[in-house]
């Protein structure tokens, strides 16, 4: 059993004593976020990772690349995504005003496409002809298959057999988009095993293949690169809230599986020290049950999938199976930057169980007419706890990271309804 630590361990004093900017501080040139991150992969991938880093550094400063990325985000993805004041839900909760960052309105229905657009443009410039990706809920797989279709690249998506069964619609979407979906039958047959299998593919086909990792995990430079592509969420939200409310928010809330939508919202606010930051992990059946996916709340540091971070692991260092009603949060690790933000106390990590997330899923649908993804429902559920403790003139921004159409069958099945 893993040692259960408090979900509220925060060492605020460490950062309150300093005004040093956090943006741009991490990672270092070897990919370290404090003691986390790094590059823990077999030797075959070390040179390809360096090449990826060099290419990324180069194109980040290339006006043509940035112009193409911006144009795609605007005209293909539909950015900027709206920031919406959920007045009905705010009244319902009776506390702070809740704004929703509507990543569910992006093309393909989630924040994932912000990153796949960026990485696919890199792949094209590197002359790669084949794209691979791992997926859990299928959102990243769909977002990858989408950009691969548009750029005419061959696309292979690795997905755990368990996730294939519970996300049938997304599997079919990927196939419609021309991707090959490979069912991963090893280990727990979920996201972590899909990531293992994608790594094995990459090491074998590294000459012509670009691996689009979907979250802020993996070996350097992925955690930093994916963060930078997702940070548009927070940059827009920071500007939009000032236009709409005339000030910065008091709190940010986002769900954390690997943590890409969360870091995307959080990062541009890291130096706004008065903005409280909450990352919401999946408590599954409850943190005490052992059946959850909350490494920051109840795990301990280790090394998996190319980086050092908090993990769900047993006393022998074996990765243990996770559980969440939400396939996209069902992952035993978490991005190393979140591990760092937890340790320095800049962000607070909490957990929401399956039942609480499902309640929020229903509430938002009924009260606001917005069907949220089960992943995002974890963030919404934490807002229902936090908002009533705050004043009515205070502001919370919740990242509505994806839409819930893909989850209708899961929710119906849980409630014994045949669709």
Partner 1 sequence: MSRIKNCFDKLKIRNRKALIPYVTAGDSDPAVTVPLMHAMVNAGADIIELGVPFSDPMADGPVIQRAAERALEHRVSLRNVLAMVAEFRQQDSHTPVVLMGYLNPVEMMGHTVFAEAAAEAGVDGVLTVDLPPEEADTLVAALHSQQLDPIFLLAPTSNDERIKLICEAASGYVYYVAVKGVTGAGNLDVSAVADKLEQIRKHTDLPVGVGFGIKDAESAAAVAAVADAVVVGSALVQKVEQAAGQHDRINAEIAGLLMQMRAGMDAK
Which residues make up the interface to partner 1 (CB under 8 A)?
30, 38-48, 186-187, 192-193, 196, 199-200, 203-207, 301-306, 308, 311, 313, 315-320
Determine how β-strand 36-40 pairs with β-strand 306-311. antiparallel
Q: Which of 39, 81, 128, 134 is catalytic?
A: 134
- The C-alpha R_g of the chain, in whole angstroms, comes to 20
Residue 186 annotated among the catalytic residues of the structure: no
CB of 298 to partner 1, least distance (A): 16
Q: Which of 39, 112, 189, 342 is catalytic?
A: 112
Name the H helices within 186-284. 191-204, 222-230, 232-245, 260-266
Among 209, 160, 163, 167, which residue's Cα sits nearest to residue 189?
A: 160
CB of 34 to partner 1, least distance (A): 14
**Closer residue to partner 1 in complex, CB, 311/364:** 311
**Closer residue to partner 1 in complex, CB, 60/320:** 320
Q: Which two tokens stand for residue 377?
A: 């429902």
Residue 13 annotated among the catalytic residues of the structure: no
CB of 358 to partner 1, least distance (A): 29
- Which residues, at least 6 apart from 377, have a Cβ–Cβ distance to it below 8 Å? 255, 326, 357, 358, 360, 361, 364, 404
Q: Compute the distance between CA of residue 136 and CA of residue 148 in angstroms, rounded to an integer.
A: 18
**Closer residue to partner 1 in complex, CB, 32/348:** 32
Determine how β-strand 395-400 pairs with β-strand 97-102. parallel
CB of 336 to partner 1, least distance (A): 13
CB of 199 to partner 1, least distance (A): 5
- Which residues, at least 6 apart from 218, have a Cβ–Cβ distance to it below 8 Å? 195, 305, 306, 307
Beta-carbon neighbour count of residue 291 at 10 Å? 17
**Closer residue to partner 1 in complex, CB, 130/385:** 130
Q: Which two tokens stand for residue 337?
A: 């930057």
**Closer residue to partner 1 in complex, CB, 6/318:** 318
Residue 385 annotated among the catalytic residues of the structure: no
Beta-carbon neighbour count of residue 185 at 10 Å? 11
CB of 319 to partner 1, least distance (A): 4
Q: Which of 197, 375, 401, 406 is catalytic?
A: 401
**Closer residue to partner 1 in complex, CB, 313/337:** 313
Q: Could you identify the residue written with the tokens 């079919």?
A: 172
Which residues are marked as active site? 112, 134, 401
């Amino acid at each position: 059993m893993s040692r259960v630590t408090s979900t509220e361990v925060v060492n605020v004093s460490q950062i309150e004593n300093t005004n040093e900017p956090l943006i741009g501080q991490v990672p270092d040139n070897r990919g370290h976020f404090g003691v986390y991150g790094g590059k823990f992969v077999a030797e075959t991938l070390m040179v390809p990772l360096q090449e990826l880093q060099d290419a990324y550094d180069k194109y980040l400063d290339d006006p043509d690349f940035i112009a193409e990325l911006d144009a795609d985000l605007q005209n293909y993805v539909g950015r900027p995504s709206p920031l919406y004041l959920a007045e009905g839900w705010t009244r319902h909760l009776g506390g702070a005003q809740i704004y929703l960052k509507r990543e569910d309105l992006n093309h393909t229905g989630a924040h994932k496409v912000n990153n796949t657009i960026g990485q696919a443009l890199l792949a094209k410039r590197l002359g790669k002809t084949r794209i691979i990706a791992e997926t859990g809920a299928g959102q990243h797989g769909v977002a990858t298959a989408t950009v691969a279709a548009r750029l005419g690249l061959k696309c292979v998506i690795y997905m755990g057999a368990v996730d294939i069964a519970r996300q049938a619609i997304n599997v079919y979407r990927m196939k419609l988009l021309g991707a090959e979906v490979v069912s991963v039958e090893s280990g727990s047959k979920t996201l972590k095993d899909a990531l293992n299998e994608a790594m094995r593919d990459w090491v074998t086909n590294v000459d012509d293949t670009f691996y689009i990792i979907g979250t802020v995990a993996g070996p350097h430079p992925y955690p930093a690169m994916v963060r930078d592509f997702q940070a548009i969420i927070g940059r827009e939200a920071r500007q939009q809230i000032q236009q709409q409310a005339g000030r910065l928010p008091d709190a940010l809330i986002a769900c954390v599986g690997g943590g890409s939508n969360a870091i995307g919202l959080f990062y541009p606010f890291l130096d706004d020290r008065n903005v409280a930051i909450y990352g919401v992990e999946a408590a599954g059946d409850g943190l005490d049950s052992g059946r959850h996916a909350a490494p920051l709340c109840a795990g301990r540091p280790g090394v998996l999938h190319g980086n050092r971070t908090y993990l769900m692991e047993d006393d022998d260092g074996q990765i243990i199976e996770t559980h969440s009603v939400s396939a996209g949060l069902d992952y035993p690790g978490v991005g190393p930057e979140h591990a760092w933000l937890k340790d320095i106390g800049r962000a607070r990590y909490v957990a929401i169980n399956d039942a609480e997330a499902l309640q929020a899923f229903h509430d938002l649908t009924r009260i606001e007419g917005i069907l949220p993804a089960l992943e995002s429902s974890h963030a919404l559920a934490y807002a229902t706890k936090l908002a009533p403790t705050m004043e009515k003139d205070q502001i919370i921004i919740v990242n509505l990271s994806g839409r819930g159409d893909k989850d209708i069958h899961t929710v119906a099945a849980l409630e014994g309804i045949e669709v």
